[in-house]
Amino acid sequence: MGKIAAFFDIDGTLYRDSLMVEHFKKLIKYDIIDQKAWFEHARDTFMDWDKRQGHYDDYLDEICDLYVESLTGLDKTCIDFTSDQVIKLKSDRVYKYTRSRIKWHLDNGHIVIFISGSPGFLVEKMAKKYNATDCIGSNYVFENEMFNGTVIPMWDSRSKNVAINNFVEKYDIDLNKSYAYGDTNGDINMLRRVGNPIAINPTKELLSHIANDPVISKTSKIIVERKDIIYSLSPNVDIFDI
């Protein structure tokens, strides 16, 4: 008889922002990388999103490329130090609903797994903080204790699908009894594969895919957490273009 697992995305699902962006800010704060890279390349995209005149994914895509470029050649000691600061100062900035679900799964003896597109060295620290059973993030490759610029991603549906297969084999997981939590379309296959899919503050793209999927439209829960209220919505909630 297979075990019950709960698969959690992190950015936007547990953590209320992006771990990668927080780490980037810490690298700038401690003068490990030059802040002019931010102002020259990412500031305008960020401001467009902040004013709700642009898309957050555009901002993140730009930051991701800049982040990898800025990290290339950095010593692992510097990266570990700033990563520790992110967890120390920012790791409690999470959604109340998701935090309570992690506790519920652990209390019930379920396997808790974090699957995230954020750098693996941040995901591992976040998983330890919240007592996750296991985790996987994007693999940033180091040679001679320095980041060589190579990233093996974990932010797309295909990569997360392969990771789930490995975890199923490793822990003998029954996916029909298991849970998955995500917020973007990169989580869609993860949600499709379990008996209990939960979309937390989903993007318009993810919500549309769920509503039009004949299987998960019937099994999904849609959770929206705003201020101090948690809303549970139907997957067929109206979506408005504004």
Confidence at residue 15, expressed as pLDDT on a 0 to 100 scale: 96
Q: Kindly list the distances between the CA atom of residue 148 and the CA atoms of 72, 118, 128, in Å, as whole numbers in the listed order.
A: 6, 17, 26
Query: Taking CA 206 as the corner, what is the angle to CA 200 and CA 207, rounded to the nearest 5 degrees?
Result: 75
Confidence at residue 57, expressed as pLDDT on a 0 to 100 scale: 60
The DSSP line for 72-123 is: TT-BHHHHHHHHHHHHHHHTT-B-HHHHHHHHHHHHTT-EEEEEEEEEHHHH
Confidence at residue 202, expressed as pLDDT on a 0 to 100 scale: 92
Confidence at residue 238, expressed as pLDDT on a 0 to 100 scale: 66
Confidence at residue 65, expressed as pLDDT on a 0 to 100 scale: 80
**Please, are residues 195 and 150 in contact by the beta-carbon 8 Å criterion?**
no
Looking at domain 5-233, its CATH class is alpha beta
Residues 28, 35: Cα–Cα separation, whole Å = 5
**Please, are residues 138 and 151 in contact by the beta-carbon 8 Å criterion?**
yes
Element (H, E) at 45: helix 43-50
Confidence at residue 155, expressed as pLDDT on a 0 to 100 scale: 77
| Residue among 31, 30, 29, 25 at smallest CA distance from 66 | 25
Confidence at residue 70, expressed as pLDDT on a 0 to 100 scale: 87
Confidence at residue 67, expressed as pLDDT on a 0 to 100 scale: 86
Confidence at residue 181, expressed as pLDDT on a 0 to 100 scale: 97
**Please, are residues 49 and 62 in contact by the beta-carbon 8 Å criterion?**
no
Average pLDDT per consecutive 10 residues, the chain (242 residues; last block may be shorter)? 94 92 89 71 59 59 80 93 95 96 98 95 97 96 94 84 94 97 90 96 90 90 93 76 54
Integer Rg of the chain from CA: 18
